Amino acid sequence: MSAVITTHGLTKRFGPHTAVDSLDLHVPRGTIYGFLGPNGSGKSTTMKMLLGLTQPSSGGIEILGEPLTRASRTRLLPSIGSMIEAPPGYGHLTGRENMRIVQDMLELSTPQIDRALATVRLTEQQHKLVRNYSLGMKQRLGIAMALARDPSLLVLDEPTNGLDPAGIEEIRTLLVELSGQGITIMVSSHLLDEIDKMAGILGILAGGRMIFQGSREQLFEHSVPDLIIETPEQQAALAQVATIAPGAPDADGIRISGIDKDRTAQVVHRLALAGIPIHQVRREQQSLEDVFMDLTGREGLL
């Protein structure tokens, strides 16, 4: 799969502080890339570098297959829609008037503006002052501004921040719909839960470093589930498995924590050889949240 964004050793230092540390990002074409990390982990700084809004201290960026330089930036930017940190828009103007500014700036057509407003479901509210918009409407207007140019790549920094569950669901539905139209979307959040349902690929930052990049399924592979074996011969089973993995008594048998597939196979084999009756064997999956917490050392806010 070709990449829309690739970085090599991307680094940003602010004085002695390294905010983004040697990132190798890989955002495949057509995916929703969920960019996760606790507050201060470097998400916004990374996105600003990708958009040429901030200069990297070192490392390289390729956007749509081209190295991002001062010269290529002007050519590449029209195909990237973005919303960084707070949603944009002037409160004393209506949604439509704000869109008009974007239209004039980017020389867009009126149908493009109408379409963007319709996509984010703001057509009916377009003549209201933005200061009277709800936070969700402001976020959607921000997305409309990013969308109006018909971009092939959307970079959205925390578009669900501060929204209630219904608002989050609305943005999620919208992004999935846009992704279905072939737009590659990079979306950040500090809450795993807001992103994991829509993202095909997750990139997880902690302290400026990428601690995981891959699919949800690959993230689950980092989980070390418990193994639960139901057996009436609890003590005998515990004695048999002791040299493979220490277990503990459980309601109807024994429980072995944090055990991988290989050792699970060994345990089952050992018990079967010893003639211990097994009524049920099951693995109890960690939640994605738990996996995430383990990876970030339970230091983050996620």
Ligand X SMILES: Nc1ncnc2c1ncn2[C@@H]1O[C@H](COP(=O)(O)OP(=O)(O)OP(=O)(O)O)[C@@H](O)[C@H]1O
DSSP letter for each residue of 48-85: HHHTTSS--SEEEEEETTEE--HHHHHHHGGGEEEE-S
Among 6, 33, 42, 125, binds ligand X (CB under 6 A): 42
Among 34, 37, 87, 159, binds ligand X (CB under 6 A): 37
Q: Is 44 in the site for Mg ion (CB under 5 A)?
A: yes
Residue 190 binding target from Mg ion, ligand X, none, CB below 5 to 8 Å by type: ligand X
Of residues 162-191, those binding ligand X (CB under 6 A)? 190
What count of other Cβ atoms lies within 10 Å of the Cβ of residue 171?
A: 22
Shortest distance in whole angstroms from residue 59 CB to ligand X: 15
Q: Is 45 in the site for Mg ion (CB under 5 A)?
A: no
The set of long-range contacts for 243-246, using a CB threshold of 8 Å and a minimum separation of 24, is 244/270
What count of other Cβ atoms lies within 10 Å of the Cβ of residue 48?
A: 20
Q: Is 231 in the site for Mg ion (CB under 5 A)?
A: no
The answer to whether 1 and 188 have CB atoms below 8 angstroms apart is no
DSSP-derived letter for residue 105 is H
| Binding range to ligand X, per CB under 6 A, among 35-43, 99-107, 147-155, 209-217 | 35-43
Structure-block tokens of residue 159: 């578009």
| Binding range to Mg ion, per CB under 5 A, among 6-14, 39-47, 279-287, 292-300 | 39-47
Say which amino acid occupies 148: A
Shortest distance in whole angstroms from residue 280 CB to ligand X: 43
Q: Is 23 in the site for ligand X (CB under 6 A)?
A: no
The set of long-range contacts for 65-70, using a CB threshold of 8 Å and a minimum separation of 24, is 65/2, 65/3
Q: Is 46 in the site for Mg ion (CB under 5 A)?
A: no
The answer to whether 4 and 155 have CB atoms below 8 angstroms apart is no
Displacement of CA 237 from its chain's centroid (Å): 42
Q: Is 223 in the site for ligand X (CB under 6 A)?
A: no
Shortest distance in whole angstroms from residue 195 CB to ligand X: 13
* C-alpha span between 18 and 221 (Å, rounded): 30
* C-alpha span between 190 and 39 (Å, rounded): 6
Of residues 235-294, those binding ligand X (CB under 6 A)? none
Residue 45 binding target from ligand X, Mg ion, none, CB below 5 to 8 Å by type: ligand X
Q: Is 296 in the site for ligand X (CB under 6 A)?
A: no
Among 40, 88, 200, 214, binds ligand X (CB under 6 A): 40
Q: Is 43 in the site for ligand X (CB under 6 A)?
A: yes
Residues of this chain that bind Mg ion (CB under 5 A) = 43-44
